[in-house]
C-alpha cells in the first residue's frame, strides 16, 4: 500500500499511536500501536537497507511481522515533515546498524 505524506501524518495522529523513528542509513517510522512500519518509497526500494541485523530482537521481530506501508516521499522529506509537524525525538537505543528514537506527538492547541 502506498500513501501520501499528508495521509501518513494524519494516520500517526491517532491517540493509539506509539511511534518510533528508526535511522538505519535511511529513515522509517514504526507505529507499535497500529503494528505498522511506514517507510519512504525510496527506502522501501533500497536493496541494501537492513534496518536491524538481528530480527531475533523484540523490535526486529515487530518490524518483520508488522504491516508495511510506503509513503510517497524521500527519507529527508519524511524527517522534515515530522519536524515541521512539531514531533519531538528522544533517543532510545542504538547500535552499529541502526538508531531508534521515540517520537512524541505534538500538542494540539484548542
Distance CA 83, CA 19 (A): 14
Distance CA 84, CA 2 (A): 22
For 53-109, write each residue's pLDDT tens digit. 445 555 666 677 788 899 999 989 999 999 999 999 898 877 766 778 899 875 665
Question: Look-up: residue for cell 494540539?
Answer: 108
Q: Give me 105's grid cell.
A: 506527538
What is the pTM assigned to this prediction? 0.79
For 11-63, write each residue's pLDDT tens digit. 998 888 899 888 877 788 989 889 898 989 887 666 555 554 445 555 666 67
Q: β-pairing, 26-31 with 36-40?
A: antiparallel
Q: Give me 79's grid cell.
A: 524527517
Amino acid at each position: 500500500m502506498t500513501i501520501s505524506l499528508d495521509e501518513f501524518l494524519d494516520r500517526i495522529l491517532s491517540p493509539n499511536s506509539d511511534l518510533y523513528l528508526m535511522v538505519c542509513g535511511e529513515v522509517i517510522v514504526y507505529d507499535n500501536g497500529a503494528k505498522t512500519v511506514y517507510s519512504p518509497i525510496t527506502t522501501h526500494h533500497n536493496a541494501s537497507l537492513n534496518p536491524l541485523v538481528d530480527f531475533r530482537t523484540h523490535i526486529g521481530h515487530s518490524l518483520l511481522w508488522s504491516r508495511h506501508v510506503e509513503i510517497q516521499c524521500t527519507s529527508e522529506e519524511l524527517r522534515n515533515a515530522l519536524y515541521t509537524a512539531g514531533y519531538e525525538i528522544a533517543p532510545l537505543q542504538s547500535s552499529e546498524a541502526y538508531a531508534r528514537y521515540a517520537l512524541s506527538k505534538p500538542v494540539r492547541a484548542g
